[in-house]
Amino acid sequence: MEDLKQKAAAAAYQLVQPGMLVGFGAGSTIAHLIEKIKLDENLARSITAVTSSFNTQQLLQAHQIKTQAISVTTYLDIYFDGCDLFDQSLNALKSGGGIHTREKLLAAMARDFILIGDGSKFVPQLLVNVPVVIEVLQEAIFFVQQQILQLWPNAKAILRLSNKKDGAVITEHGNALIDIYFESMPAVGMINTSLKAIPGVLETSLFYQMATQAIIADKKSVQHIYR
């Protein structure tokens, strides 16, 4: 799998031009992309990076790639990120890592949002075995769970618990995460509007009609898929 991710990252590297303001998400494919950029010293020196991920920030700093805070950023030339799954229309499900709110902010700032990964991420239709994750105000957890069950009585809305300590996972913004497993996948176009209409829900992990291109590698080739 790692060599497929490296191949996808190598193809993504071709899209980075000197002087660009480049967004980077999280994950192992993104790490391969940064390693590839680092080998091109002139390019690495010329770009400015903005990232949604603490680990990616550490890697950028270790490679002395200039970084800029999200809070002073309103535009990116390009944003690269991995995902858990994406479909033919480039709708993506993310947030195994629970940082989708920041990732979506960067994706929305970017002229081009490029998904990169190995071929296992590409499915004809998004699947119910990967949850839609929502970031939720702590005070709203029970209310939001109840509202979700009113909308989709057969869904499971599970508060994400920490496997390291007693209690829930708390995001860097001080919020909780709820993983929603649907019995059957609702129409993708209405998931965000339904969930974001519930008071207390900050953001969902469904990146609907946001990506402009996906670069995926399988054993035979690297494919570029455009929206």
**Which region, judged by CB under 6 A, interacts with ligand 5RP, from 25-33, 64-72, 146-154, 177-185?**
25-33
Angle at 14 between CA 125 and CA 46, to 5 degrees: 125
CB nearer to ligand 5RP: pick between 23 and 147: 23
Tell which one of 6, 12, 23, 27 touches ligand 5RP (CB under 6 A): 27
CA–CA separation, 86 and 223 (whole Å):
14
For ligand 5RP, the binding residues in 37-96 under the rule CB under 6 A are 81-84, 94-96
Tell which one of 97, 152, 178, 203 touches ligand 5RP (CB under 6 A): 97
Which residues are within 8 A (CB) of 100 and not within 5 positions of it... i.e. 6 or more apart? 94, 133, 135, 203, 204, 205, 207
131 binds ligand 5RP (CB under 6 A): no
Helix axes 28-39, 54-62, angle to 10 degrees: 20
Q: Are 90 and 83 in contact (CB under 8 A)?
A: no
119 binds ligand 5RP (CB under 6 A): no
- Name the active-site residue from 103, 172, 183, 203: 103
List of residues contacting ligand 5RP (CB under 6 A) = 5, 25-29, 81-84, 94-97, 117
